[in-house]
Amino acid sequence: MTQPVGVSPVGVSPEMAGMHTPEARINKHKADWRGWKFMWPFAVVFVFVFIIPIVYAIYISFFKKQMIGGTKFVGLQNYQRLLVDQQFWSSVGRVALFTVVQVPIMLFLAAAMALAIDSMKLHGTKFFRISTFLPYAVPAVVSTLIWGFVYGAKYGLVGSFNDFFGTNVDVLKPSVLLAAIGNINTWEFTGYNMLIFYSSLSTIPHSLYEAASIDGASEWQIVKSIKLPELKGSLAITVIFSIIGSFQLFNEPSILQNMVPGNAITTYYTPNMYAYNLSFSGNQSNYAAALAIVMAVITMAIAYAVQLNSMKEQMK
């Protein structure tokens, strides 16, 4: 879920922040190569597993491999084709819709759970904390299979429900399929986000709460004035992770493909699935590389916008 792409906007921020501070300018003059001795093991790995693949993907996206005619340089042709590729944009639209609906629901649930656990008013908080986090430890392949069996309108849990009540519910029909996938993702990642929220809540010193209660603040006022402002920082992180995750949607729809009735999940259901099919069954790996680059740019742009926005919020 947390792919390297997500790290980059976060990684940019210290520099961005640095540019506005006087120390940064002074450090620049004191540039010292000794630091690289400590850096090189990381730098070598980083270049090999991160920079080179990306540069190579960009490089091959300027070519076209044909069964007749072999490989030739085509410049920006792949990108031009992508611009008017309806299948591509329909898949982007689908994950965008998914993101807009699923991410807020999931983060709201995660924040509510974190606040509940942090309230110290619950019994068995440890059990609650670990059990909501547990789905995150289940591999996506397994959890999708589990949910697929639950959803089955003929032989699944939904099927049993239908038999018992004489209803005709089908949560895998094309019109609600995306919501069904969203439910799987919410189940998988709410606990993970809850943990991020919870950890930032637990950094608040207890003296603040004591001071608040001495001042006569109610529980709601404490939540509103102390806890929620503290959550803002981690909210930016969880939003970025979640957006990246949703845009990279692949496992859940690919596995459900053979579990939904008919062919509701096409080979271009999400951008990643489209890229996968283009390169592995379409023999168009160069075009798929162009697609991957464009998706990375779109995702980074959105993540960056969120980051900038949250920085502005924090400056206030």
Partner 1 sequence: MRNTKKVIAATAAVATLVGLAACGSGSDANANKGNADKAELVFWGWDSGNSMKDIIAKFEKANPGITVKFNNTGTAEKTSTALSNAIAAGNGAPDVVMLEDPTVTQFAVTDGLVDLSEFGADKLADDFAAGPWNKLQYNSKPYALPIDSGPEMFFYNKAVFDKAGVDGESIKTWDDYYEAAKKIRATGSYITNLAGTSGDYQPFTAQIWQAGAQPWKVDGEKITINMTKDEGMQRYIKFVQKLIDEDLVDTKTPNWSDDWNRELNDGTIASLTIGAWMPINLMTGAPDQAGNWRVAQLPQWEEGKEVSAEDGGSALAVVKLSKNQAAAYKFVEYMTHGDGAQTMADTGTFPSLKKILTSDSFTDPTTEANKKTNAYFGGQNVNEVLSEAAQRPTEKFQYLPYNPFAQSAYGDEVSKAYTGEITLEQALQNYGKKLAEQGEQQGYTVTVK
What's the rounded Cα separation, in Å, for the pair 107 and 56?
Answer: 36
Contacts of 234 (CB under 8 A, 6+ apart): 196, 197, 199, 200
Instruction: Name which of 38 and 155 has its Cβ closer to partner 1.
Output: 155
Q: How far is the CB of 152 from partner 1 (least distance, A)?
A: 7
Regarding 181 and contact with partner 1 (CB under 8 A), the answer is no
Regarding 241 and contact with partner 1 (CB under 8 A), the answer is no
Instruction: Name which of 13 and 77 has its Cβ closer to partner 1.
Output: 77
Instruction: Name which of 153 and 240 has its Cβ closer to partner 1.
Output: 153
Regarding 77 and contact with partner 1 (CB under 8 A), the answer is no
Regarding 46 and contact with partner 1 (CB under 8 A), the answer is no
* 151-180 positions binding partner 1, by CB under 8 A: 152, 154-155
Which residue is it, tokens 């008017």? 84
Regarding 266 and contact with partner 1 (CB under 8 A), the answer is yes
Structure tokens at 173: 């029909």
Exactly one of 7, 10, 54, 101 binds partner 1 (CB under 8 A); that residue is 54
What's the rounded Cα separation, in Å, for the pair 46 and 34?
Answer: 19
What's the rounded Cα separation, in Å, for the pair 199 and 202?
Answer: 5
How far is residue 10 from each of residues 15, 43, 168, 308, measured CA to CA in Å? 10, 18, 47, 10
How far, rounded to the nearest angstrom, does the alpha carbon of residue 118 sit from its chain's CA centroid? Answer: 25
Q: How far is the CB of 82 from partner 1 (least distance, A)?
A: 13
Per-residue contact flags (x/-) with partner 1 for residues 188 to 227, judged by CB under 8 A: ----------------------------------------
First-to-final CA distance of the chain: 31
How far is residue 177 from each of residues 72, 119, 302, measured CA to CA in Å? 41, 36, 25
What's the rounded Cα separation, in Å, for the pair 225 and 229?
Answer: 7
What's the rounded Cα separation, in Å, for the pair 123 and 87?
Answer: 51
Give the binding-site size for partner 1 (rule: CB under 8 A).
Answer: 51
Exactly one of 143, 193, 238, 284 binds partner 1 (CB under 8 A); that residue is 284
Regarding 65 and contact with partner 1 (CB under 8 A), the answer is yes
Which residue is it, tokens 């995150």? 136
Q: CB under 8 A: which stretch of 26-34, 123-131, 140-148, 224-232 binds partner 1?
A: 140-148
Regarding 303 and contact with partner 1 (CB under 8 A), the answer is no
What's the rounded Cα separation, in Å, for the pair 265 and 252?
Answer: 11
Q: How far is the CB of 217 from partner 1 (least distance, A)?
A: 48
Instruction: Name which of 127 and 280 has its Cβ closer to partner 1.
Output: 280
Regarding 267 and contact with partner 1 (CB under 8 A), the answer is yes
What's the rounded Cα separation, in Å, for the pair 200 and 118?
Answer: 10
Q: How far is the CB of 94 from partner 1 (least distance, A)?
A: 14
Q: How far is the CB of 163 from partner 1 (least distance, A)?
A: 13
Beta-ladder partners of 63? 73
User: Which spans of this chain sit near partner 1 (rule: CB under 8 A)?
Assistant: 49, 53-54, 56-57, 60, 63, 65-71, 140-141, 148-149, 152, 154-155, 250-251, 254-255, 257-259, 261-263, 266-268, 272, 275-277, 279-289, 292, 296
